[in-house]
Structure 1
Amino acid sequence: MERRSCGVRHVCTVTLLLISVCPLCCRASWMWLGVTSAGVSEQLGCANLPLSHRQRELCRKKPFLLPSIQNGARLAIAECQSQFRNERWNCSTSEDPSVFGYQLTSGTKETAFIYAVMAAGLVHAVTRSCSLGNLTECGCDARLQGGGSSAEGWHWGGCSDHIQYGTWFSRRFIDSAVKNMSTTRGGYTLLTMNQHNSEAGRQAIDRTMSTDCRCHGVSGSCAVKTCWRTMAAFERVGVYLKERYEHSVQVSDRSRRKTRKKDQRRLHVDKHQLIFFNKSPNYCLEDRRRGVAGTRGRRCNRTSTGPDGCNLLCCGRGYNTHVVRDVQHCECKFVWCCFVHCRRCESMNDMHTCK
């Protein structure tokens, strides 16, 4: 998996200088916060971060939300790379301030997933901060308090996650950025697509929530249950969005399409579906102009028939086999007193990489 960030000092210096002088050039995006350290973002402050004008104003008004914004970006990028780790496109990032480069404006299924997972990550991070009591503007969702079913012996209580606040902030923060993003598709139709997919990502948080309960009673009995609503782990949200990605719907660019009216009537896009304009490239060969890393050198599974299999991942080019030595601690025993004694076990394994 290729993941580049500001790990090299001179790259960091150039990137920060670029953002400080011209925050919106090079299609800079708030997603950059997900690949940089918290110290850097705090040092730059709201005025010099790669934010749109509306985002900077919102950041100035609510600076206490900056850590949640950064956590949301990190959460989303990490989950994107986890879900696509075995795919030809493995959600690689670059040192470019836009983070995803061409994929951010390509109008493909990958663009759809990026916008959905980033919006979901922001909802999740802000909502989690609310539930933990880290923010003064929000807390637990108290709307359900006092309700429930007395006949069935349970009632709402505890701390239900307040996703309404997180969803509101995600809409306010992300949609304002999309309106200021320059595109190669004339603006409006790509704008609508990105907003639709961002909203689908937010709805994914709601659709994956669960009801948790705790029993109360004498001697461990469950005479009464207290229940609350809680967000799923973000890994579950990632799985849900990956499924939406696999079943995403291609729509036409309204500025160009010449489809018949009956074809237009047949197309129904649910608000929970991801939509895209353009077919994805095959991601097999490196294309620097499009920010495609290619699959050369990627590790593959010779026996797998899935996307991580050498045939699919290497695009039929074949693969190289290397023998690697793996050294691990084994047969560990506790010795009185007080340390653990282990043997060093070596094994020779085959590693396959795409040609």
Structure 2
Amino acid sequence: MTHFYAITGLFAIALLPCSTYGQLWTLAHSNLSLSEEKSVKCSSLMGLSRTQRPLCRRYNDHMTFVSSGAQTGLEECKHQMRTNRWNCTVPSTASASKSLDVGSREVAFSYAITAAGVVHAIARACKNGELSEHCACSRRARPRGLSPTWKWGGCGDDTDYAYGFSYEFIDANEKGNRSRNRRETARRNMNLHNNEAGRLAVFRMTRPTCKCHGVSGSCSLKSCWMQVPDFREVGRRLHAQYAAAMEVKSTGSGKLRPRFTSSKDPAPTDLVYLDSSPDYCIPNPNMGVLGTSGRDCEMYSPGMDGCGIMCCGRGYSSRDIVIETTCRCKFQWCCSVKCDTCRKQVRKHICH
């Protein structure tokens, strides 16, 4: 099924031996770098679909930022899911196609967070002059409500270009899949919807940022520009959307509608999924499930990270370990902070 390239087409190069787990996770592990003398070899780059390789050649200088953006998305996925039974990792032996065969809310989140990472990285690269043949500073109009005494026009992150590139490149795989199979059509539309939700998260969270200028910090002049948020904020937003994700079904024409008639049609920013999540308690390499054995848990937490939920009723073991932390930090003139290293004993609880 060609739609398996699509996200995680930015998400999978070293996670799995086969590129079909998805281009985004693949490129996240590719450690791409460009120099003036050398470009990315699109023909040998794992994780790209047939429809994306021509775009890779056309936008060759973008690929290192696609890779780094996907990596940012992958790391943020792990952070946001660190207290869940599924923590955004798969075993290296997982079957590529089956890993994404279930159109679950976790897969929906994976598509969205990596698409967001690419928009974020490309927007920053434009601002920094690293893609100067294609984009530069943001050309967004002065937003309403900004004080008339503040100067508009500092060099902002170009989310308009980043959004457009991400739309063209990431969605190319899904749009190149012309299968008339109803199931594949539904998955294609699910993936496209979640890609868009990820892009919009960055685009709509971009805000004016201002800086004061003047003698001794007098702020006699303030200049402002558009800036993408810290990616941790994007991750939190998408994680909240993951928790509220909408289960959908496919109509005869392949369009997605709420599975339950009392629900409204999904908004562009909603995450959508077709299938219930698999059982993440027990290892299932063929489904890309590691299980929760060996995971840390919190003895008294009522949440997903609590030992009762995380360990799936199997129980847990406790042991004392010694960890090192920084302590007694002092400011040194000028200009550094010096800290001591302290050891302390903590009790860890580990799922059976």
TM-score bracket, normalised by the shorter chain, equals: 0.7 to 0.9
- Does residue 1:32 correspond to 2:26, yes or no? yes
Q: State the distance in 2 between where 1:166 and 1:352 align.
A: 43
1:213 counterpart SS class: strand
CA change 1:184–1:328 in 2 (3 A) is farther
Q: State the distance in 2 between where 1:155 and 1:60 align.
A: 39
Q: Structure 1 residue aligned with 2:249, among 249, 252, 267?
A: 252
Q: State the distance in 2 between where 1:54 and 1:244 align.
A: 30
* Conservation of the 8 A alpha-carbon contact between 1:132 and 1:139: yes
Q: Structure 2 residue aligned with 1:71, among 53, 64, 68?
A: 68
Query: What residue in structure 2 maps to residue 46 of structure 1?
Result: 42
- Does residue 1:158 correspond to 2:154, yes or no? yes
- Report how far residue 39 of structure 1 moved: 6.3
Q: Structure 1 residue aligned with 2:118, among 111, 115, 122?
A: 122
Matches within 5 A, 1:1-355: 6=14, 15=17, 26-27=20-21, 29-38=23-32, 45-49=41-45, 50-95=47-92, 102-135=98-131, 136-144=133-141, 152-180=148-176, 186-217=183-214, 220-255=217-252, 264=261, 267-326=264-323, 346-355=343-352
| RMSD after superposition | 3.8
Aligned pair count reads 330
Where do 5+ consecutive residues of structure 1 fail to align?
A: 19-23, 335-339
CA change 1:185–1:35 in 2 (3 A) is farther
Q: State the distance in 1 between where 2:138 and 2:40 align.
A: 33
- Report how far residue 102 of structure 1 moved: 3.7
* Conservation of the 8 A alpha-carbon contact between 1:329 and 1:343: yes
CA change 1:28–1:152 in 2 (3 A) is closer
CA change 1:255–1:150 in 2 (3 A) is closer
1:325 counterpart SS class: strand
Q: State the distance in 2 between where 1:32 and 1:261 align.
A: 31
- Report how far residue 309 of structure 1 moved: 1.1
1:279 counterpart SS class: coil
2:242 counterpart SS class: helix
Where do 5+ consecutive residues of structure 2 fail to align?
A: 1-11, 332-336
* Conservation of the 8 A alpha-carbon contact between 2:298 and 2:305: yes
2:291 counterpart SS class: coil
2:209 counterpart SS class: strand
User: Percent of aligned pairs with the same residue?
Assistant: 36
User: Structure 2 length as normaliser, TM-score?
Assistant: 0.81
1:321 counterpart SS class: strand
Q: State the distance in 2 between where 1:78 and 1:270 align.
A: 26
Q: Which amino acid aligns with 1:35?
A: H
- Report how far residue 322 of structure 1 moved: 1.9
